Structure 1
Amino acid sequence: MQTQLDKAAAQLAAHLAQVLSPFSGDVGDAMRHATKGGKRLRGFLVLESARLHKVSPAAAIWPATAIEAMHAYSLVHDDLPCMDDDDARRGQPTVHVKWDEATAVLTGDALQSLAFELAAHPEVGSGAVRADLVQTLARAAGGQGMVLGQALDMAAERAQTPLPLDRISALQAGKTGALFEWSAAAGARMAAADPAPMIRYAAAMGQAFQIRDDVIDVTGDAQAVGKAVGKDAAAGKATFVSLLGLDGARARAADLVADACDALSEYGADAATLQQTARFAISRHS
């Protein structure tokens, strides 16, 4: 599994370097800084979804890099002092620390715009396919998806009482799950196939991924993780771990991974890599 992830990460890094080469100045440098490193799991899901639906790698690389640019934008803004106020990301200084807050805002804006440009690239497919990818990406990243999840997360930090489990699940379905769902469904959309099984897979895997993040925040080492840990507990924030306990959270994540794998049953052995990816989501250490 790790070998496949590493191979995809190298392909995505090379393509990102190519599409970012025209960008200059502090914003260009910060865009390259913000897109370095990471697991590139969302881009990998696009590539695997495309392979599963017989879409060419040359077409799939564009939406795969689009989702990496969109994810990087979200992290740059998420790290700002007005949100999570983080100093490190992926083992390096966050953009607002290395440059300044204004550069970080502009860098996030530029990465978001780039994401839509990449998803609409002519090599992706027909105009109808490209329009569908852009529209669904806007919905996944915006006020019905990731942005909504972030807003709910910030509101939860200000709340007097911790959120119950169902509301945490809904929050994370937007903040984390929406981009996972778009990534996993991208290949089906490019092939004009039904994206529903891929969305079910990613919804379950995305929540399992977030539970693992909550576990790592409690049990992880900051140097190994590449960012601060223990922040949720220090802020008194309700998480899957705080509500279910470590063992309960791990058990729930395992059940979700089983659900994710079951969602791909119609694809047979061709879906083995995506099923392994779901299992990786709850075994990683960063």
Structure 2
Amino acid sequence: MSGFATALKVAAGLTEARLQAEIAALPDTPVRAAMAYAARGGKKLRGFLVLESARLHGIAPEMAVQAASAIEAIHAYSLVHDDLPAMDDDDLRRGQPTVHVKWDEATAILVGDALQTLAFGLLARDDAAPMPQARLALIASLAHAAGGAGMVLGQALDIAAETAATPLSLDEITALQAGKTGALIEWSACAGARMVGADPTHLAAYARALGLAFQIADDILDVEGDAALAGKRLHKDEAAGKATFVSLLGLDGAKARARDLIAEAQEALQVYGNDAQQLREAAQFVIARSN
């Protein structure tokens, strides 16, 4: 196993253990059980980015795991709601039935609500960052990234595109995905800098390129991926007639654009020298993954 693969696995284990412990402390209800189910598994890439950006700024994993767990709670909530019949109407996530299939739609909605509020509770705790102003910065920036100017905006644009008279242009898809996928990835990569009041400019540039490459890789996987490895339905975008990076650039063009973005992301990390090697390898992982 490579150094990056090991680091990702360790980060995922640390983040999931913290998040599951928080969920386990809640009252014993079907919502709690479904929250634990929704938060289980996955790559935990966003949590890894938090932990790595924190390490670059001298923050120990024991403190950074609060923010790592918070972003993974937000990500899990977004998937639960995204899978609902009123949204993408998916019945499979990470190789398992989606929450509304295993329980019901009402439970799935409440699970998403509870995971979202849990995230902000985690960031408000004294051990989430060294200083109160840093905790406020994490909370405010996550509210922006996850809300109507970030992830929710991207999702709204995606839904609107399904009934639009004409397919989206390349610029429009890029803007959509900057919210839907990119906003949480950018927050994750900048979290460590915000914990100590440092300038997140270089990490933000890294994350913007990484987030777009991540979505292009998703579009490529939707065309040529293995559903068993992906753990979800594939070929949905093509069947729905949606414009994607692949439909607009072609398969080879999309792969070339993803490679260019990864080079751009890695270039943004030069200021950190060898200390950012794991983040560079994370960028390569984004376009080499099978799920």
> Does residue 1:16 correspond to 2:19, yes or no?
yes
Assess if the C-alpha contact under 8 Å between 2:20 and 2:39 holds in 1: no
Look up the match of 1:241: 246
Look up the match of 2:92: 88
- How much has 1:27 moved relative to structure 2? 0.4
RMSD of aligned Cα (Å)? 0.7
- How much has 1:246 moved relative to structure 2? 0.7
> Does residue 1:228 correspond to 2:227, yes or no?
no
Q: TM-score by structure 1 length?
A: 0.99
> Does residue 1:27 correspond to 2:31, yes or no?
yes
Look up the match of 2:57: 53
Match for 1:72 among 63, 71, 76?
A: 76
- How much has 1:127 moved relative to structure 2? 1.2
SS state at 2:63 partner: helix
- How much has 1:164 moved relative to structure 2? 0.5
Identity of aligned residues (%): 62
Amino acid paired to 1:139 = H
SS state at 1:201 partner: helix
CA–CA distance in structure 2, aligned partners of residues 164 and 254 of structure 1: 21
Look up the match of 2:177: 172
> Does residue 1:3 correspond to 2:6, yes or no?
yes
Look up the match of 1:119: 123
Deviates more, 1:14-23 or 1:181-190: 14-23
Look up the match of 2:108: 104
- How much has 1:121 moved relative to structure 2? 1.5
Structure 1: which 5+ runs fail to align? none
- How much has 1:224 moved relative to structure 2? 1.1
- How much has 1:22 moved relative to structure 2? 1.6
Look up the match of 1:267: 272
What are the residue-to-residue correspondences of 1:154-233 with 2, within 5 Å? 154-233=159-238
CA–CA distance in structure 1, aligned partners of residues 288 and 171 of structure 2: 24
- How much has 1:4 moved relative to structure 2? 1.3
CA–CA distance in structure 2, aligned partners of residues 17 and 106 of structure 1: 17
Structure 2: which 5+ runs fail to align? none
- How much has 1:12 moved relative to structure 2? 1.2
Deviates more, 1:111-120 or 1:13-22: 13-22
Assess if the C-alpha contact under 8 Å between 2:77 and 2:112 holds in 1: yes
Match for 1:63 among 58, 62, 67?
A: 67
SS state at 2:40 partner: coil
SS state at 2:90 partner: coil
Amino acid paired to 1:157 = E
Q: Deviations over 1:230-262 (max 9, x none)?
A: 000000000000000110000000000011001
CA–CA distance in structure 1, aligned partners of residues 285 and 152 of structure 2: 26
CA–CA distance in structure 1, aligned partners of residues 59 and 39 of structure 2: 25
CA–CA distance in structure 1, aligned partners of residues 64 and 70 of structure 2: 10
Q: Deviations over 1:23-73 (max 9, x none)?
A: 221100000000011010000000000001111211100000000000000
> Does residue 1:42 correspond to 2:21, yes or no?
no
Look up the match of 1:149: 154
Aligned residues: 286
CA–CA distance in structure 2, aligned partners of residues 64 and 9 of structure 1: 9
Q: TM-score by structure 2 length?
A: 0.97
CA–CA distance in structure 2, aligned partners of residues 192 and 131 of structure 1: 11
- How much has 1:223 moved relative to structure 2? 1.2
Amino acid paired to 1:67 = I
SS state at 2:242 partner: coil
- How much has 1:184 moved relative to structure 2? 0.3
- How much has 1:16 moved relative to structure 2? 1.4
Amino acid paired to 2:40 = K
- How much has 1:17 moved relative to structure 2? 1.7
- How much has 1:94 moved relative to structure 2? 0.5
Q: Deviations over 1:254-274 (max 9, x none)?
A: 000011001111111111110
